[in-house]
């Protein structure tokens, strides 16, 4: 059975001693970084929330979108993500497995902690120089809307890695013994040297290297308590360095790309919303209503716990905030009714796991951003697993409490139930409001050779479709208004429907050429002022509508913005044709 606890909860074998000058320097360094990162991160959260609200207000209320809003929000988010990584590393809140090291004797636990810190430092050092090089290369690139160097955005990666390195060194100075540190450095350096020397031999192993790095290596690092993100990251970097010739700049670029998805901007907002419902007492209002409704039943408060977690999770994206809001309101009364404290903690943990897929789920948002799957579809599909989990937990509660004595538990009066309902009504409505505002987009299926009609396959003797499919990078779909046209989905003349700028059409059997090229760009030149209004999102034809872009089944664009974002992108393509 696995146990997840924070690093700071594990007693350290070499704790900080005020009389140690090295430890004192480490403590001062850690304190300085703590104030720097936490104050900056708090300011970024406030700025991000205000900026996103301003974007929504200008776009949907004033119909005058802030052209630079999304770009600035993306810039702030990558800085917030990296500062959050630094804070999580300092607090020991990066996910890690502590089942095994928690059972070690203090000296061995101290060595495991020191070795894990050295592994983290090794991972950071591998990425640090490529991160600064990546920042330097991005200096020449100017952002489209803000017209500033892109280095100001990607510098967050190199600055964040530098601060994480400083935190790891400070922790070693505070808590590690010199002997443990030297042994750990020698072991890590020895493994690195062995991989370097055996690079040519390991290349011959082929796919067995995947087992070595991503099974043996990852499992070993996780078992000794290394943060899971470092275990996977270091294994990936070691594999690329040893077996392939991939430069580390590619890894840094993928990190940049992973934190640049606009859909990820929803994460700080939902976390902020979770903090709000806890601070404003909305969770307590829902709990009081549920308790007045079913609290008198056998195991009634357990049902309330399950229902409260389900409802609160439908508002907040932070499961920690959900449990922090529900537990203090219910646990005291449940203990008075004779509930076992260990069972309460187990039920709270199981409820948190059950509600992980309830929208707005940060996990589903992240999956949607990475895979390009519709967030709305993921939110719709996330309900049923949680419903099944809630029903299973409710069945366990019923079986456990079916013979429990409920004498002395008074049933709430109908007037009290009604009053509690009115107070909780805004909070109860929020999950439905959130779900209703996540609108569903429209999609088109990608066309493959198997999707061609029999007449088209007979006509495709010279593999014309394969050539156009290669030219379009696989983004081929049929034009809805004329299904004989196979168009490039990346370039559409309309944001409300797929109207390809170019494509191909298979000709009749008596024609000389088996396909004809469909190119509509020369006939569709527009006035430059009309084009500019489209680019900035001020075209009156589109002010009363809102669409999501084509999303992947395979589809036009993996990001879920509204029509004006796609309109600007499509118009910029048209500008190149003028």
Which residue has tokens 């009634």? 300
Domain boundaries, the chain: 22-260, 281-437, 449-577
Question: Taking Cα atoms as reference points, which of 555, 566, 558, 561 lies closest to residue 371?
Answer: 558
Cα(303)–Cα(285) distance, integer angstroms: 16
Which residue carries 């996977």 as its tokens?
A: 232
CB 161 within 8 A of CB 272: no
Q: Where are the beta strands (DSSP E) in 424-501?
A: 476-479, 482-488
Euclidean distance between CA atoms 565 and 459, whole angstroms: 39
Report residue 509 as tokens: 């059997």
- Structure confidence at residue 521 (pLDDT): 60
Q: Tokens 């008075």 — which residue?
A: 336
**Spatial contact of 504 and 515, defined as CB atoms under 8 Å apart:** yes
DSSP result, 222-262: HHTT--HHHHHHHHHHHHHHHH----HHHHHHHHHHHT--G
What's the whole-model pTM score? 0.68
Q: Which helix (H) or strand (E) holds 519?
A: strand 515-519
Q: How open is the CA angle 552-555-560, to the nearest 5 degrees?
A: 65
List the one residue out of 97, 239, 77, 252 whose CA is nearest residue 161. 252
Could you give phi then psi for residue 566, rounded to 5 degrees? -70, -35
Task: For the chain, 578 residues long, give each residue's pLDDT as a single digit of tens.
Answer: 333 334 344 334 344 444 578 888 888 898 999 999 999 999 998 898 888 888 888 877 887 778 788 888 889 989 999 999 999 999 888 888 888 888 888 888 888 889 989 999 999 999 999 999 999 988 888 887 788 888 999 999 999 999 999 999 998 888 888 888 899 999 999 999 998 888 888 888 888 888 889 999 899 999 988 999 899 999 999 998 888 888 888 888 888 888 877 777 777 777 777 777 777 777 778 888 888 888 778 877 888 888 888 777 777 766 666 777 777 777 777 777 777 777 778 888 888 777 777 777 777 777 777 776 777 777 777 778 888 888 888 888 888 888 777 776 778 888 888 888 888 888 788 777 776 665 555 567 788 888 888 888 888 777 888 888 888 878 888 888 888 888 888 777 765 667 888 888 888 877 778 888 887 665 555 555 555 555 555 554 443 333 333 333 333 333 333 333 444 444 444 334 33
């Amino acid at each position: 059975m696995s146990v997840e606890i924070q690093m700071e909860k594990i007693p350290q074998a070499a704790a900080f001693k005020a009389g140690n000058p090295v430890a004192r320097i480490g403590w001062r360094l850690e304190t300085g970084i703590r104030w720097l990162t936490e104050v900056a991160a708090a300011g970024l959260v406030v700025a991000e929330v205000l900026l996103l609200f301003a974007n929504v207000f200008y776009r949907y209320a004033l119909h005058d979108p802030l052209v630079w809003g999304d770009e600035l929000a993306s810039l702030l988010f990558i800085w917030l993500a990296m500062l959050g990584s630094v804070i999580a590393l300092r607090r020991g809140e990066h996910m890690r497995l502590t089942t095994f090291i928690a059972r070690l004797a203090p000296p061995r636990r101290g060595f495991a902690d020191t070795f894990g810190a050295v592994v983290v430092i090794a991972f950071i050092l591998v990425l640090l120089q490529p991160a600064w090089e990546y920042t330097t290369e991005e200096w020449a690139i100017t952002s489209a809307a803000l017209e500033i160097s892109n280095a100001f955005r990607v510098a967050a990666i190199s600055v964040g890695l530098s601060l994480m390195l400083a935190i790891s060194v400070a922790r070693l100075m505070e808590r590690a013994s010199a002997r443990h540190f030297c042994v750990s450095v020698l072991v890590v350096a020895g493994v690195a040297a062995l991989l370097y020397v055996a690079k040519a031999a390991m290349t011959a192993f082929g796919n067995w290297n995947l087992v070595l790095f991503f099974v043996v290596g990852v499992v070993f690092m996780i078992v000794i308590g290394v943060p899971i993100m470092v275990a996977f990251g270091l294994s990936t970097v070691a594999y690329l360095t040893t077996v392939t010739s991939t430069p580390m700049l590619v890894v840094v670029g993928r990190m940049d790309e992973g934190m640049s998805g606009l859909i990820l901007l929803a994460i700080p907002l939902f976390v902020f919303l979770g903090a709000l419902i806890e601070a404003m007492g909305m969770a307590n209002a829902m709990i009081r209503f549920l308790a007045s409704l079913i609290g008198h039943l056998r195991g009634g408060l357990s049902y309330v716990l399950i229902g409260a977690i389900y409802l609160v999770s439908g508002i907040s994206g932070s499961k920690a905030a959900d449990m922090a809001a529900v537990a203090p309101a219910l646990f005291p009364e449940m203990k008075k009714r004779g509930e076992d404290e260990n069972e309460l903690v187990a039920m709270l943990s199981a409820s948190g796991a059950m509600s992980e897929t309830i929208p707005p789920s940060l996990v589903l948002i992240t999956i949607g951003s990475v895979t390009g799957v519709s967030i709305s579809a993921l939110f719709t599909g996330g309900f049923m697993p949680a419903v099944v989990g809630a029903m299973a937990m409710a069945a366990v509660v019923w079986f456990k409490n079916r013979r429990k004595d409920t004498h002395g538990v008074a049933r709430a009066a109908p007037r009290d139930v009604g009053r509690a309902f009115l107070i909780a009504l805004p909070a109860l409505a929020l999950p439905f409001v959130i779900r209703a505002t996540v609108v569903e987009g429209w999609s088109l299926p990608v066309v493959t050779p198997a999707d061609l009609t029999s007449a088209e396959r007979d006509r495709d003797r010279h593999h014309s479709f394969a050539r156009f499919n290669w030219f379009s990078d696989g983004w081929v779909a049929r034009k809805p208004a004329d299904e004989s046209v196979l168009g490039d989905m990346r370039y559409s003349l309309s944001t409300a429907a797929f109207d390809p700028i170019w494509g191909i059409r298979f000709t009749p059997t008596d024609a000389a050429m088996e396909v004809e090229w469909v190119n509509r760009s020369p006939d569709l030149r527009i006035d430059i002022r009309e084009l500019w209004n489209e680019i900035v999102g001020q075209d009156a034809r589109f002010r009363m509508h809102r669409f999501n872009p084509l999303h992947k089944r395979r589809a036009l664009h993996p990001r879920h913005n509204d029509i004006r974002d796609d309109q600007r992108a499509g118009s910029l393509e048209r500008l190149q044709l003028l």
